[in-house]
Amino acid sequence: MVEIIVDGEKFSVNEKGNLITELKKHNIEIPHFCYHEALGVSGNCRMCLIEVVGQKRPQIACDTPIKDGMEIKINSELTRAVQRGILELEFINHPLDCPVCDQAGECDLQDYYMKFDLQDSKVSLADKVKKGKREDLGSLVIHDEERCVLCRRCVRFTQICTQTNELAVGGRGEHSHIMLMNGKKIDNPYAGNIVDICPVGAMTSADFRFKKRVWHLQKTPAICQGCERGCAIWIDSNKAKYQDSKIYRFRPRESSVNGYFICDYGRYSYKDEQVIKRDDSAKISALALDLRTNGDQYDILASSSLSLEEMSALKILANEFNMGLYGFSDFRDESFKDEIGLKLRVPNKTANRVGLNKLGIGRNLDKKSKNLIVFHLGRDFEFINKFEFDNLIKIGSNSDADIVCASSYHRDGHTLNIDEKLRFSKGAFEPLSPKICDIIAEFIGRRVEFDMSILKAFA
């Protein structure tokens, strides 16, 4: 660590780090478009030019080596004048369509204008150069060339992160533009991240366009349940007046597990997680009554989609009525695994296979009875077809269930990912259907308290 001086104040930073990232840790913002922690330095946007004491001209912060005792001025008149000049350049042909742009509210260009610019445009809307609009680049990515600032993050993402090279920059100088390499559309399992990393709304999601303004969305930190990687995500939801809460999108949340990205399978899995409105309270009461007299004639099958809390509650339920408890975790899809690129996707498509093993829930189903109660959170109960049974009761979060319960994103819960890292997922909002732990509480007639010491063993 070394000390540098920023606007007269000393800060301790990593000498080997990037100046923009290091100052961000101290809540100091240097505006930038092309630099991204996952993509490295490009140095083409010039938005991060700052005054460095001792240098004849402003320097790009993204590629300025950190030296002990260096002094920079990010709020000086020179730095501000350079930033206003760069923004004026970016706005010359920008359509200024913030009222209809899906990036509005999350747009760096919009934010920088409000913070550092506020100049009137010297070019009328009628005189601006018109460029391509609504170009379908494939994989639900829509390109608006008029909004593009040519930061090249999207190009570098396909080069560095997915190594699929679908995007390139064509033309020279003022004719430069983002284009599809050899005319082939984007075809990789992480394409949605191109929309996330675009700083100005040139890349928008065909799935999310015009559905909801971002400032109306409630952000909830959660963990993706699509596979046992356990990527950190944001759940963006909204509850409109006189309507039920609704999830509009999943976005990546920075973490040591997934870095800055998630796969498209996890990203669009939100579509399977909407609230199902169905009153199964009579079925729950009837099953509770039956279990109190005939409980030992049933067995329980818990899938690896459940949380540690839910699995632990099932162990208590099994002991209460002398039921057999079995686990099922074979949700493998070998084609799901990545061979190149980010390699975030894991073949097992449930979040808690490791947790099932750690809690000692056996998977030998040879001795199970013919009466089976299955607990599963996920898309379907297709895996049940592997077993023989006389009487099957399905409790899950999809419409095929006999008793519908809250999904993984509508309740709090812990899981263990493939690397045995403890992951906590928070419910986006209160569900209309009961949570699995609530159903178990009705079965045994009392609330089940989760033993927190279980988490300490995995933390």
Tokens representing 74 are: 């990010």
What local confidence, expressed as pLDDT, does residue 371 receive? Answer: 87
Q: What is the pLDDT of residues 339-354, one digit of tens each?
A: 899 999 999 999 999 9
pLDDT tens, 110-151? Answer: 999 999 989 888 888 889 999 999 999 999 999 999 999 999
DSSP string of 56-122, one letter each residue: SS-EEGGGPPP-TT-EEESSSHHHHHHHHHHHHHHHSS----GGG-TTTTS-HHHHHIIIII-PPPS
Residues of the chain below pLDDT 50:
none
The per-residue pLDDT for 351 is 96
Contact 250, 408 (CB under 8 A): no
Distances (CA, A) of 450 to 53, 56, 351, 375, 425: 58, 64, 19, 18, 16
Report residue 430 as tokens.
């209160």
Tell me the pTM.
0.93
d(CA 112, CA 215): 18
Domains identified in the chain and CATH numbers:
2-92 (3.10.20.740), 108-205 (3.30.70.20), 223-272 (no CATH), 280-457 (no CATH)
Rounded Cα distance, 317 and 169, in Å: 60
Which amino acid is residue 160, in one-letter code? Answer: I
